[in-house]
Amino acid sequence: MTRGVPHSPELRAQVVAAIIAGATVAQAAQRFGLRKQTVSEWLQTEEVRTVRTTRERTPEVLEAMIFDLVAEHITTLRAQLQAAAATAYVQGQTAGDLAQLLGTERDTLIRLLAGFRPVDVQRPELAEPAEPASGPADDDR
């Protein structure tokens, strides 16, 4: 346990998840209001390494992880949209920046919702596109 203020396991998990998702130690520390040294120590603990490398990966565990990730993403999107809807924020942005933000948020929502649609391989419009047919140029190689 680090000295000073004890941190919840949930906070530690969020910080480690941010780093696994691509944030640097410095970025994660700043985002969560922590010291970089604290974040680095968390990454080096046996507990974190065990969770990242030896957790059982059954379909049920992966399904639960995906569900948790989607739920966290929705919560994050909601917070971002609420912040972006604040009058002070909107007034400080250019029309182009706001259009880009709205487009990105819309696309994210569409992709998120599309993930809940079951794939029906019996419907040709949902199936993977077929490989293009080989032309005569391919036969001459």
Residue extents of the structural domains in the chain? 9-53, 57-114
Q: Is the pLDDT of residue 131 over 70?
A: no
pLDDT 10s digits, 55-93? 567 888 888 888 888 888 888 888 888 888 888 888 898
Evaluate whether 26 touches 20 at the Cβ level (below 8 Å): no
Look at residues 74, 84, 78, 72 and name the one whose alpha carbon lies nearest to residue 18.
Answer: 72
Kindly report whether the global pTM for this prediction surpasses the value 0.85: no
- DSSP-H helix ranges across the chain: 9-20, 25-32, 36-44, 46-54, 59-84, 87-91, 95-114, 136-139
Characterise 103 by phi-psi region: left (phi > 0), alpha (psi -120 to 50), beta (else): alpha
Look at residues 80, 11, 86, 5 and name the one whose alpha carbon lies nearest to residue 42.
Answer: 11
pLDDT band per the 50, 70, 90 thresholds, residue 141: very low
Look at residue 53 in the predicted model and tell me its pLDDT: 46
Rounded CA-CA distance 57/39 in Å is 26
Look at residue 55 in the predicted model and tell me its pLDDT: 56
